[in-house]
Amino acid sequence: MEVKASELDTMERLGEGAAGTVRKVLHRPTNRIMAKKSISTDPDPAVQRQILRELAFLRTCNSPHIVSFYGAFLDDGDTTVSLCMEFCEAGSLEDIYKRASLLGGVIGEPFLARIAESVCKGLVYLHSKRVIHRDIKPSNILVTRSGEIKLCDFGVSGELINSVAQTFTGTQYYMAPERIQGNAYQVQSDIWSLGLTLIEVSQNCPALPPPGQPHLSIFELLDFIVRQPVPVIEGAHISEECRNFVAVCLTKDPQYRPGPNRMLEHPFIALWENVEMDLGSWVKEVWGWD
Ligand code: ADP
Ligand code: MG
Mutate to test the pocket of ligand 1, among 13, 26, 96, 139 (most ligand atoms within 8 A of CB): 139
**From ligand 1's centre to the CA of 24, what distance in Å?**
10
Q: Tell me, what DSSP letter sits at residue 251? A: -
Model confidence band, residue 225 (pLDDT cutoffs 50, 70, 90): confident
Q: Is the CB of 88 under 6 A from ligand 1?
A: yes
Instruction: Report whether 185 contacts 158 (CB < 8 A).
Output: no
Q: Which ligand is in closest contact with the Cα of 91?
A: 1
- Is ligand 1 within 6 A of the CB of residue 14? yes
Identify residues whose C-beta is under 5 A from ligand 2, the ion.
Answer: 140, 153
> Does the beta carbon of 25 sit less than 6 angstroms from any atom of ligand 1?
no
Contact between residue 73 and residue 52 where contact means Cβ atoms under 8 Å apart: yes
pLDDT tens digits for 178-219? 988 888 889 999 999 999 999 999 999 999 988 888 888 878
CA distance 107 to 97: 7
| 44 included as an active-site residue | no
Residue 83 near ligand 1, beta carbon < 6 Å: no
Write the residue with the smallest CA distance to atom 7 of ligand 1: 17
Greater confidence, 235 or 28? 28
Query: Which atom, in ligand 1's list, is nearest to the CA of 19?
Result: 6
Q: Are 118 and 198 in contact (CB under 8 A)?
A: no
pLDDT tens digits, one per residue of 42-61? 889 999 999 999 999 999 99
pLDDT at 150 over 60: yes
280 pLDDT exceeds 70? yes
- Whether 135 is in the pocket of ligand 1, judged by its Cβ within 6 Å, is no
Give the residue, by CA position, lying nearest to ligand 1 atom 23.
Answer: 87
3-state secondary structure of 266: coil
The catalytic residue among 42, 75, 76, 135 is: 135
Whether the complex's predicted ipTM surpasses the cut of 0.85:
yes
Q: Looking at beta carbons, which pairs linking 57-63 to residues 24 or more positions away fall under 8 Å?
A: 57/129, 57/156, 57/157, 58/83, 58/156, 60/129, 61/125, 61/126, 61/129, 63/121, 63/122, 63/125
DSSP state string for 15-30: EE-SSEEEEEEEETTT
